[in-house]
C-alpha cells in the first residue's frame, strides 16, 4: 500500500522536533525506501523520529534526508519481531512477545 497521511500522527512536538507514529501493513523495508514518504515530505524535518508499526514489526526511524527525491530514513531501533497470533482466550496469560 502507498503512504497514507491518515495513518501518520504526532505524538510529541517541541523546539522544532516532532515525534511521529505511523502504522502500515507494508513491511518495514518498503517504508525505508526513499519514495514511500515522498507524498508527505513537507511534514517532516531532518532529525524527526518516527515510531512505526510496519507489517507487524516495530521500529524507530529518523529522518536523515528530505529533498525532491523523497524522504530518507535510517533505522535507530527495530524489534525484529513479527506479530504472533494472539489467543482470544482471556485465560491465556502468556505474552506472545516473550520466549516461553
Q: How confident is the prediction for the chain on average, in pLDDT?
A: 84
Residue 24: CATH number of its domain: 2.40.240
- 41 domain residue, yes or no: yes
Residue 91 within any structural domain of the chain = no
90 domain-assigned: no
The answer to whether residue 48 is domain-embedded is: yes
Confidence of residue 85 (pLDDT cuts 50, 70, 90): very low
What pairs with residue 8 in β-bridges? 22
How far apart CA 71 and CA 11 sit, in angstroms, is 19
Question: How many angstroms separate the CA atoms of 50 and 2, rounded?
Answer: 17
Instruction: Tell me whether residue 61 is exposed, middle or buried, using C-beta atoms within 10 angstroms of its C-beta: 0 to 12, 13 to 18, 19 or more.
Output: buried
Would you say residue 20 lies in a domain? yes
Summarize the confidence of residues 60-78 as an average pLDDT.
91
The residues near 41 (Cβ < 8 Å, ≥ 6 apart) are 66, 67, 70, 71
**46-63: pLDDT as tens digits:** 999 999 999 888 999 999
Examine the pLDDT at 100 and tell me if it is beyond 50: no
Tens-digit pLDDT profile for residues 14-26: 999 999 999 999 9
pLDDT at 29 over 60: yes
Residue 40 covered by a domain? yes
- Considering the domain boundaries, does residue 83 fall inside one? no
The pTM (predicted TM-score) of the whole model is 0.76
Where residue 1 falls among pLDDT bands split at 50, 70, 90? confident
* Domains of the chain: total: 1
In a domain, 93, yes or no: no
- What is d(CA 43, CA 27) in angstroms, rounded to the nearest whole number? 22
Measure Cα distances from 66 to 60, 70, 72 in Å.
17, 6, 6
Q: Which domain holds residue 22?
A: 5-78
Amino acid at each position: 500500500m502507498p503512504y497514507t497521511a491518515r495513518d501518520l500522527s504526532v505524538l510529541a512536538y517541541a523546539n522544532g522536533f516532532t515525534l511521529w507514529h505511523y502504522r502500515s501493513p507494508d513491511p518495514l523495508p518498503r517504508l525505508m525506501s526513499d519514495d514511500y514518504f515522498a507524498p508527505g515530505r513537507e511534514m517532516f524535518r531532518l532529525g524527526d523520529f518516527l515510531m512505526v508499526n510496519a507489517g507487524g514489526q516495530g521500529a524507530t526511524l529518523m529522518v536523515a534526508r528530505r529533498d525532491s527525491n523523497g524522504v530518507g530514513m535510517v533505522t535507530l531501533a527495530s524489534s525484529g519481531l513479527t506479530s504472533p497470533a494472539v489467543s482470544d482466550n482471556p485465560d491465556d496469560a502468556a505474552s506472545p512477545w516473550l520466549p516461553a
